[in-house]
Amino acid sequence: MPRGRHKGFALLAVIILLTVVFIIVGVPVGSGRAKTSFVVKKGTRTGAIAHLLKAEHRVRSEYLFLLCSLLLHRGRVIAGEYELSENMSTLDIAKKMADGDRKVYTLRIVEGYNLYTISNVIEKAGIMDSGAFLRLANNADFLRRLGVPSDSLEGYLAPDTYFYSREVDVDELLEKIAQRTLRFLDRDDVRLRMNELGMDAFQVISFASIIEKEAKLEGEKRLISAVFHNRLRLGMSLDADPTVIYGRGDFKRDLTKADLATETPYNTYRLKGLPKGPICSPSRSSILAALYPDQSDVLYFVSRNDGSHVFSKTLEEHGRFVAMYQRRKGNK
């Protein structure tokens, strides 16, 4: 057979083979459209991913997946959680993973959220079961690993919007969030100010969390802080309603006289000083307010029922304002 004809047959064979390969990689393993998750962890080799895809019957051949991955992005697969379905071809899956078209969860921690609220937000976002989150947030070994000086993560989850993908574990996400708070508290200027006040990081977070729950207006935070600093200095109880509410564990009903009389580690009407620990995640501005209160000798404040407060230096003056604004509230 002439050499030219032999080369022609070889070229034709290669073309046919490549055509078959591209047909195969473009044909889905099934017709179902229901999406299921496939998680690629950080550091997983492409070969291991291909093997697992084949084992779960998501691709026809692990070698064809490797070929597609190699041609698309030099074999790179971006870690993350991918939603796959039977009607996706090997080429579709390889492209999705090469492009990093992964599922991302959004977690928004709002200033003033406590662990129970955050647990519900985490569950609704599809990140983690609320019960599992609370167990982890109260796990002594986990807290020790993070360097959190408390028996829970309460107060240490910095308010912000976070984006999460399952290539990392949830505990890594929580560690990242808590470290933001810990790094801020470890700043030289912050540590110097804490020393001046005779407070440690745990006390500052506890203090700031009360300010966060009491202050509706940003401009009042430092004055509210002054009230509590003054009361602590004079040996007075803080009388902070939000701590009582946190201690009873029921956040839906109004505060009652019976609640104020019930002893809990958070009832600042019954105990002197700060409560057992933080009652929510404070904003950075509340932490700064705890560190830098206004220079004032105010000792009391009462709500005007519009988000603002009126402040007093004496109990007599405070009593008049309480009667005034509580009466107005009752008339609404």
pLDDT in tens, the chain (332 residues): 455 555 555 554 444 444 445 555 556 666 677 888 999 998 899 999 999 999 998 888 888 888 888 887 776 788 999 999 988 888 889 889 998 899 999 999 999 999 999 999 999 999 999 999 999 999 999 999 999 999 999 999 999 999 999 888 999 999 999 999 999 999 999 999 999 999 999 999 999 999 999 999 999 999 999 999 999 999 999 999 999 999 998 888 888 999 999 999 999 999 999 999 999 999 999 999 999 999 999 999 999 989 899 999 999 999 999 998 876 554 43
pLDDT in tens, 235-257: 999 999 999 999 998 888 888 99
Domain topology for 24-99: Dna Ligase; domain 1 (3.30.1490)
Indicate the domain borders of the chain: 24-99, 105-184, 188-298
CA distance 251 to 219: 26
Angle made by CA atoms 131, 133, 138, in degrees to the nearest 5: 100
Measured in whole angstroms, the distance separating CA 299 from the mean position of its chain's CA atoms is 35
- The residues, ordered by sequence, that sit 6+ positions from 88 with a Cβ below 8 Å of its Cβ are 28, 58, 96
Total residue length of the chain: 332
Predicted TM-score (pTM) of this structure: 0.84
Distance CA 321, CA 207 (A): 25
User: For every residue of 91-150, which 3-state class applies, written as one string?
Assistant: HHHHHHHHHCCCECEEEEECCCCCHHHHHHHHHHCCCCCHHHHHHHHCCHHHHHHHCCCC
